[in-house]
Structure 1
Amino acid sequence: MMNFIYMVLPSFVTFSSALSFRPCPLLGPAFPPFSLNANDDTVANALQNLTETFDNMIATNTGSHGDVSPNTTFSIALFSTDRGTAEDEAFFWQYHHTSPALNQSLIGSRTASKDSIYRIGGLTEAFTVWSLLLTGDGDQILDDPITKYLPELVNGTADQYHIRHVTWDEITVGQLASHMSGVARDYCSKDVTLETGPGITPSQDIHKPCCGNGPKCGSDEFLQYLANQAPVAPPGVTPSYSNMAFQLLGYIVARRAGQPFGEVLQRDIFDVLGLTETSIFAPVNSSAGIIPTSKEASGWLAHHGGDEASTSIFSTVKDLSIAGQAILNSTLLDRSTTNRWFKPVSHTSNPANSIGLPWVIYSGGSYPNTSMVDVYTILSNEGYKEGLYSSYLGLVPDFGVGFAILSADTETPADLNAHADVIGDVILGALMTTATKQAGENFGGAYKTASSSTNLNSSITVEYDDLPGLYIEEFINNGTDFRETLAEVLGIETPADLSIRLYPTQLEEEEQGSGAGSRQAFRAVFQDKTELADNGTPTCVSWLNIDKYRYGGRALDEFIFSQDQSGRAASVEIPALRVALRRG
């Protein structure tokens, strides 16, 4: 089955009066979308560094985030929604390592590549939730009680104690998908065998494997068994992982679509995106498979119907890159649904991690020195004696990038945190640098009224530094220093202490006309550079004041840039001041 091992948040820097000014950005990307150019010095150097880091990890069996096994064969791909000058693939960087131990296997492929097939296990959950959002009314179903779709479960809850039996009509579909249902973890699990010793009474109960360990697992049998299982916790109280929760989601998808779950995935996702090497359970032809030992011992032949919607899928890093791009690009969903999908549902006991649908979300960046960057991940580690495959998928919506890691080991499933953390260390910093640099090139500079507008003297100067967001250095309106006016409105005593930083809102529209560019909205965050924080608490409440100050019916913090087809800003409109300024 599956275990989550959470990534660690980079060191947290507190915001106190002892520190120099730090901006309070809006949640989301600090800069507009950038074009990924694999030949750019910053990106190229980072990718070369990444290759060398993995080469060294393999040579020494250790790295900056712990030791790694010499018996692990793995494939990694980095992908982006904007490939720029990347290679003609679904990804812009790939790395493959074939362990010498793999050669001892008598079946499958002897060399790891982009087309190598691995069991992806728990990454199946992302496809299950994706298919749920694609059938019926999108994410409106998430608030429905599951008994609306699985009424059989109601019969098992009448007149039962809450500690001993689940109150099924209190669980929503969204709670199943976000690890918040409180449902028992596994249906097909085996009882732990304990040696008889002091204080241990031998168990007389015989635990029968579900569905006779065969490929058939009818929903009637599954639901009858599940209806009488004890809960882990009340729904909505605490995250607790459950494979059974995702199997229930699979039944819901099937009933809404009127087709078996596997056929729904094949029709709505695999076929549409051209995921030709992705399948429910192992492919018939195993020649491209990475099978580290025998098919039985590795978990290649695992084929329980009860696992279909939780751990059944096999795939390649190439196909996962295509799928990751489609999720980030809203290729199959509308953008508003994707935006809601990329949001947390609950905290965990680790402040660095939150829970989503079905994401484990870790917060990158180093607030307040950089903006927060959320990485939406799924990690599958089959566990001791349950299989030899591990997999990791990470999506970074703020940057439009992601990564996929697939692995197989001859002895025990690999801990892929050591690999994923290296990617985060090297790539996130390079992408932040790239986003900052391109934002400065595309939006930085002086903007002023056209020379023909002699009756109006207005201008702004947009610049950037090593902090989140662009900032306005000079602000003149109608011949006067508008920074002084804003400082008075905001109650800031010294105009020079007013910080005006611009952040993209992700509101964008195409300009009318053939060959025209686009318009992109930003919001300014006004801050007093000398204002003390709350006794060292890292307070950031800029979201409380967005759109607060208005003039003539429009917000004073609204700035709309017009860009040409290359993304370079040609002008900026400040609606509240009724001015449009051209870039010099």
Structure 2
Amino acid sequence: MLSFTTSFISISLALFSSASAQSPNYCPLLGPVYPPPTDLSNDPTFATAVLDITSILDQTTSNGSLSKNSISVQIFDATHAGPLLNFAYTANNINTTLGVSTVDQDTVFRVGSVSKLWTIVLFLVEEGLWPFQEPIVRFIPELHEAASKLQWDPRKRRDAIDYVHWGEVSMGELASHLAGIARDYGVLDLSGMASQMEQLGFPPLQPSEIPPCGNPNPCSREQFFNGLLQSHPIVPTSSTPVYSNAAFQILAYALEAMTDQSYEELLQRDIIAPLGLNGTYYTTPNTSLGVIPNDSGEYWWNFDLGDEGPAGGIYSSTRDMATLGQAILSSSLFPKFITRRWMKPATHTSSLDYSVGAPWEIVSFGDERPIDIYSKAGDIGTYSSIIALSPDHNVGFTVLAAGADGHAKVALASDLISALLLPALEASAKNQAAARYAGEYTATDSTNSSIAITTDDGPGLLITSWVNNRTDMIQSLMTLGHVSDPSTFGIRLYPTGLESPGQISFRALMPPSLSTAGNGPFTSSCITWVTVDGQVYGNVGIDEFVFNMDERGVVNGIIPRVLRTTLRKT
């Protein structure tokens, strides 16, 4: 069954990429090429995708690669009250005496490092984004003291291999894994299995070299900093992302110092209560609420991370995870401008389609038209999880799993879902845009002005004809752009994300075919972002368009703003 699902993913993703790979390089701007689709629960294209996703999840759980893991899946959008898809599977190898006997959307799992997302949301609710530019030593006295001592010790100050220069570390670098510090202190240190390590050729450790905490007892704040300050740096700050749980423990201490509240109090006040969550916990809930795998499930359910909880200790359900995702997509907990600034890459990785944010793991799909999925995955023992959001479509999904090799199984489920979900969302958005915006728009006076708009195999809304006062505006724009071949020129409208009551803004891109002189990044990269608003007439961009809507949201007109005229939809 694994070979079948792998082939299925490859074929689906290839079909998703091939449409753009075989088409002209339209070079749209980064972001959606149509307004996000709405009312997806009644959209026939999306309904077909839901059936297909459900079918393949049924196959892979019934007798395939996911059959040994209990799993709960939800797909959701920013506005729909209930899930767009709800799927749950209960594996045979669970302890029904301790935990649930049937997994559903309210079953509690450990979400592991997805907890980091909750931690950053708390920061944004409480403080916004300003703290991420601040040095961490401003809020953590232990690190301030360490930085001061390092500054006054010439030998240590010049030693970048053995000592972290904490005065250089910002809170934003901690949040985006760019601080270059140790992954953990104490937690699951292999000194806990010293005899096995020595048999494998490792030297005996001195008592002073063995962390006094973390395995199994969590570290106190004093123990954590005493140990962390002896840990070697990994890389310089802001050089390359290096995953760190310790970074989020430090961030939680800073948040508590800034708010004079405990992390658990903030979680309850800022997220759990406002969103009405009933299956999310910071401390260990009763096992009767969760799914407990037979193999070490009880151990990992009760494994205490102590003060590292903000990095990986939260428990939640798919219903609550989806509700959090909806809150992020709709910006219901903090303003939209904060959401936009936050949902951006902080750094690349060595994979061209994988970037890192705070704490986002950003995966890009597609070719000519990249679709960035903002995700956060997590693992703790026998529990694995992911939440993934598509801001271009206002849709996301979450997968929670319990069982062996959970990380790989959650990744596989995410691939299966994405391979079907993203093309369906693109198709639904396109179909809805065609129904809403395509058509003929004409002047109500005698100027003989009109615009015809349609959709085709390319992205965005295509202007097929444009006449102003009997002048062919497409030909005029070709003249302005020094284009002689009509087959190389097109005017496509893309949503800007700007809206006013009764109006929605689009911008036109009208690039001719790109140069074929080379195939390297300098000659083949999309530089249309440089051309936006590049030609203005009377301080109004030639590329600026606004659609008018009535009180029901029905499009009834278009304004090519440079022409200072309104055309009515016929």
Kindly report which structure 2 residues correspond to 1:168-187, keeping only aligned pairs within 5 A, or say none.
168-187=166-185
CA contact (8 A) 1:135 1:256 kept: no
Structure 2 residue 85 is the aligned partner of structure 1 residue 93: yes
Structure 2 residue 454 is the aligned partner of structure 1 residue 463: yes
- The Cα shift of 1:14 comes to 10
CA contact (8 A) 2:385 2:407 kept: no
Instruction: State how far apart, in whole Å, the 2-side matches of 1:546 and 1:414 are.
Output: 42
From the superposition, tell whether residues 308 and 59 of structure 1 become closer, same or farther in structure 2 (CA, over 3 Å). Answer: closer
Structure 2 residue 371 is the aligned partner of structure 1 residue 381: no
From the superposition, tell whether residues 325 and 112 of structure 1 become closer, same or farther in structure 2 (CA, over 3 Å). Answer: same
Question: What residue number does 2:71 align with?
Answer: 74
SS at structure 2 position matched to 1:56: helix
Instruction: State how far apart, in whole Å, the 1-side matches of 2:302 and 2:453 are.
Output: 59
Instruction: State how far apart, in whole Å, the 2-side matches of 1:94 and 1:273 are.
Output: 19
Instruction: State how far apart, in whole Å, the 1-side matches of 2:461 and 2:31 are.
Output: 14
- The Cα shift of 1:415 comes to 2.9
C-alpha root-mean-square deviation of aligned residues, in Å?
A: 2.4
Question: What residue number does 2:545 align with?
Answer: 559
SS at structure 1 position matched to 2:289: coil
| Counterpart selection for 1:52 from 50, 55, 60 | 55
SS at structure 2 position matched to 1:156: helix
Kindly report which structure 2 residues correspond to 1:211-226, keeping only aligned pairs within 5 A, or say none.
213-214=216-217, 217-226=219-228
Kindly report which structure 2 residues correspond to 1:409-428, keeping only aligned pairs within 5 A, or say none.
409=403, 415-428=409-422
Amino acid in structure 2 at the alignment position of 1:329: S
Instruction: State how far apart, in whole Å, the 2-side matches of 1:288 and 1:267 are.
Output: 22
Kindly report which structure 2 residues correspond to 1:312-391, keeping only aligned pairs within 5 A, or say none.
312-365=313-366, 367-368=367-368, 371-382=369-380, 387-391=381-385
| Counterpart selection for 1:430 from 405, 418, 424 | 424
| Counterpart selection for 1:476 from 467, 472, 488 | 467
Kindly report which structure 2 residues correspond to 1:257-268, keeping only aligned pairs within 5 A, or say none.
257-268=259-270
Instruction: State how far apart, in whole Å, the 2-side matches of 1:413 and 1:485 are.
Output: 56
Structure 2 residue 139 is the aligned partner of structure 1 residue 140: no
Amino acid in structure 2 at the alignment position of 1:182: G
Structure 2 residue 28 is the aligned partner of structure 1 residue 22: no
Kindly report which structure 2 residues correspond to 1:193-342, keeping only aligned pairs within 5 A, or say none.
193=194, 195-196=197-198, 200-204=202-206, 206-210=209-213, 213-214=216-217, 217-283=219-285, 285-293=286-294, 297-342=298-343
Instruction: State how far apart, in whole Å, the 1-side matches of 2:229 and 2:203 are.
Output: 28
Structure 2 residue 407 is the aligned partner of structure 1 residue 405: no
Instruction: State how far apart, in whole Å, the 2-side matches of 1:155 and 1:377 are.
Output: 36
| Counterpart selection for 1:532 from 506, 512, 516 | 516
- The Cα shift of 1:154 comes to 2.8
**Is there any run of 5+ residues in structure 2 with no aligned partner, and where?**
1-8
Superposed CA deviations along residues 17-62 of structure 1, whole A, max 9, x for unmatched, are x96533110111000122133233211111111111111112331x
- The Cα shift of 1:381 comes to 2.3
Count of residue pairs the alignment pairs up: 545
Instruction: State how far apart, in whole Å, the 2-side matches of 1:439 and 1:198 are.
Output: 62
From the superposition, tell whether residues 531 and 477 of structure 1 become closer, same or farther in structure 2 (CA, over 3 Å). Answer: farther
Q: TM-score, normalised by structure 2?
A: 0.90
Instruction: State how far apart, in whole Å, the 2-side matches of 1:501 and 1:197 are.
Output: 67
CA contact (8 A) 1:79 1:93 kept: yes
- The Cα shift of 1:223 comes to 2.3
SS at structure 1 position matched to 2:333: coil
From the superposition, tell whether residues 118 and 209 of structure 1 become closer, same or farther in structure 2 (CA, over 3 Å). Answer: farther
From the superposition, tell whether residues 139 and 551 of structure 1 become closer, same or farther in structure 2 (CA, over 3 Å). Answer: same
Amino acid in structure 2 at the alignment position of 1:292: P
CA contact (8 A) 1:108 1:290 kept: yes
Amino acid in structure 1 at the alignment position of 2:135: P
- The Cα shift of 1:412 comes to 6.3
Instruction: State how far apart, in whole Å, the 2-side matches of 1:133 and 1:471 are.
Output: 39
- The Cα shift of 1:472 comes to 0.4
CA contact (8 A) 1:572 1:581 kept: yes
Structure 2 residue 41 is the aligned partner of structure 1 residue 38: yes
Instruction: State how far apart, in whole Å, the 2-side matches of 1:199 and 1:211 are.
Output: 24
Instruction: State how far apart, in whole Å, the 2-side matches of 1:301 and 1:269 are.
Output: 23
| Counterpart selection for 2:139 from 135, 140, 149 | 149
- The Cα shift of 1:201 comes to 3.8
SS at structure 2 position matched to 1:503: strand
- The Cα shift of 1:81 comes to 1.0
From the superposition, tell whether residues 536 and 204 of structure 1 become closer, same or farther in structure 2 (CA, over 3 Å). Answer: closer
Question: What residue number does 1:190 align with?
Answer: 189
Question: What residue number does 1:64 align with?
Answer: none
CA contact (8 A) 2:355 2:362 kept: yes
**Is there any run of 5+ residues in structure 1 with no aligned partner, and where?**
1-6, 62-66, 511-517
From the superposition, tell whether residues 261 and 107 of structure 1 become closer, same or farther in structure 2 (CA, over 3 Å). Answer: same
SS at structure 2 position matched to 1:75: strand
Kindly report which structure 2 residues correspond to 1:435-446, keeping only aligned pairs within 5 A, or say none.
435-446=429-440
Instruction: State how far apart, in whole Å, the 2-side matches of 1:263 and 1:479 are.
Output: 67
Amino acid in structure 1 at the alignment position of 2:323: I
Identity of aligned residues (%): 34
Instruction: State how far apart, in whole Å, the 1-side matches of 2:431 and 2:311 are.
Output: 42
Instruction: State how far apart, in whole Å, the 2-side matches of 1:236 and 1:26 are.
Output: 27
Amino acid in structure 2 at the alignment position of 1:231: P
Structure 2 residue 112 is the aligned partner of structure 1 residue 110: no
- The Cα shift of 1:239 comes to 0.5
Structure 2 residue 528 is the aligned partner of structure 1 residue 542: yes
From the superposition, tell whether residues 299 and 414 of structure 1 become closer, same or farther in structure 2 (CA, over 3 Å). Answer: farther
- The Cα shift of 1:15 comes to 12
From the superposition, tell whether residues 326 and 130 of structure 1 become closer, same or farther in structure 2 (CA, over 3 Å). Answer: same
Question: What residue number does 2:3 align with?
Answer: none
Amino acid in structure 2 at the alignment position of 1:115: D
From the superposition, tell whether residues 320 and 565 of structure 1 become closer, same or farther in structure 2 (CA, over 3 Å). Answer: farther
Amino acid in structure 1 at the alignment position of 2:77: S
SS at structure 2 position matched to 1:555: coil
Instruction: State how far apart, in whole Å, the 1-side matches of 2:271 and 2:173 are.
Output: 23
From the superposition, tell whether residues 407 and 15 of structure 1 become closer, same or farther in structure 2 (CA, over 3 Å). Answer: closer
CA contact (8 A) 2:190 2:197 kept: no
Amino acid in structure 2 at the alignment position of 1:190: D
CA contact (8 A) 1:291 1:298 kept: no
Question: What residue number does 1:4 align with?
Answer: none
From the superposition, tell whether residues 443 and 221 of structure 1 become closer, same or farther in structure 2 (CA, over 3 Å). Answer: same
- The Cα shift of 1:497 comes to 3.3
- The Cα shift of 1:204 comes to 3.9
Question: What residue number does 1:514 align with?
Answer: none
Amino acid in structure 1 at the alignment position of 2:509: V
Of Structure 1 and Structure 2, the greater helix share is in 2
